[in-house]
Amino acid sequence: MGIGVAVVLIAIGAILTFAVHATVTGISIVTVGVILMIAGAIGLVVTLAIFAPRRRNRVLQERVSLDPASRERIIERPDSY
């Protein structure tokens, strides 16, 4: 489940819980809405827990120096990124 699906579940659940005032025999629309909101929240937490470690920024170190004789910038980067 992705972040988008989790947000959609939360939104549909909130609409069913707070905005729909219809009655259906044998089923509670409010309960279905609450269940969808809980499922969306759990899906969002799980998705963020799984994909958050992959989104770390890589630290790039480079050394820039100015060659005084030719006035050129020399950029040294490590071989492995």
pLDDT surpasses 70 at 55: no
The residue to which tokens 């020399």 are assigned: 74
Taking every pair of C-alpha atoms in the chain, what is the biggest distance, in angstroms?
Answer: 87
**DSSP character for 52?**
G
pLDDT at 31: 92
Is-above-0.85 flag for pTM? no
What are the tokens at 25?
């025999």
Identify the pLDDT of residue 72.
62
Strand-pairing partners, residue 76, are 63
> CA-CA distance, 73 to 65, in Å (whole number)?
6
pLDDT at 74: 61
